[in-house]
Chains A and B, each alone.
Chain A
Amino acid sequence: DVKVTQSSRYLVKRTGEKVFLECVQDMDHENMFWYRQDPGLGLRLIYFSYDVKMKEKGDIPEGYSVSREKKERFSLILESASTNQTSMYLCASSLGGMRLNTEAFFGQGTRLTVV
Chain B
Amino acid sequence: KQEVTQIPAALSVPEGENLVLNCSFTDSAIYNLQWFRQDPGKGLTSLLLIQSSQREQTSGRLNASLDKSSGRSTLYIAASQPGDSATYLCASRYKAAGNKLTFGGGTRVLVKP
On A, residues with C-beta under 8 Å from B are 4, 6, 31, 33, 42-43, 45, 48, 50, 58, 88, 90, 92, 94, 96, 98-109, 111
Restricting to B99-113, which residues have a CB under 8 Å from any CB of A? 99-101, 103-106
On B, residues with C-beta under 8 Å from A are 31-32, 34, 36, 41-46, 49, 51-53, 89, 91, 93, 98-101, 103-106
B101→A101 contact, CB < 8 A: no
Give A111's nearest chain B residue, CB to CB. Answer: B41
B42→A109 contact, CB < 8 A: yes
Contacts of B51 in A (CB 8 A): 100-101
Contacts of B101 in A (CB 8 A): 33, 45, 92, 104
Contacts of A104 in B (CB 8 A): 34, 46, 91, 93, 101
Give B53's nearest chain A residue, CB to CB. Answer: A100
A108→B93 contact, CB < 8 A: no
A108→B31 contact, CB < 8 A: no
B52→A100 contact, CB < 8 A: yes
Shortest distance from the beta carbon of A29 to any chain B beta carbon, whole Å? 10
Contacts of A4 in B (CB 8 A): 43
Shortest distance from the beta carbon of A74 to any chain B beta carbon, whole Å? 14
Contacts of B103 in A (CB 8 A): 42-43
A58→B100 contact, CB < 8 A: yes
A48→B100 contact, CB < 8 A: yes
